[in-house]
């Protein structure tokens, strides 16, 4: 395994782990702050947008590279 392959795998694994960890942080924040349905929807909408931007960036890198 080359360094580039290791870095690529580490990026996906650590990035995925970070996304899952952020999901639980946002869920706990919404629950403790009693955000309600709309507030929880907004919090997860922002998290979903961040994940979507990460995925779109990766697609563009593969298409242009």
- Tens digits of pLDDT across the chain (65 residues): 899 999 989 988 998 898 889 889 989 999 999 999 999 999 899 888 888 898 899 899 989 97
Q: What pLDDT does residue 65 have? A: 74
Q: Is the dihedral of CA 45, 16, 9, 6 positive or negative?
A: positive
Give the chain's domain count.
1
Residues of the domain holding 58: 3-64
pTM over 0.85: no
Q: What pLDDT does residue 12 have? A: 85
């Amino acid at each position: 395994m080359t360094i580039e392959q290791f870095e690529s795998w580490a990026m996906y694994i650590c990035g995925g782990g970070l996304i899952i960890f952020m999901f639980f942080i946002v869920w706990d924040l919404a629950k403790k702050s009693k955000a309600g349905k709309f507030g929880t929807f907004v919090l997860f909408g922002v998290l979903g947008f961040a994940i979507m931007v990460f995925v779109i960036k990766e697609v563009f890198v593969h298409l242009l590279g």
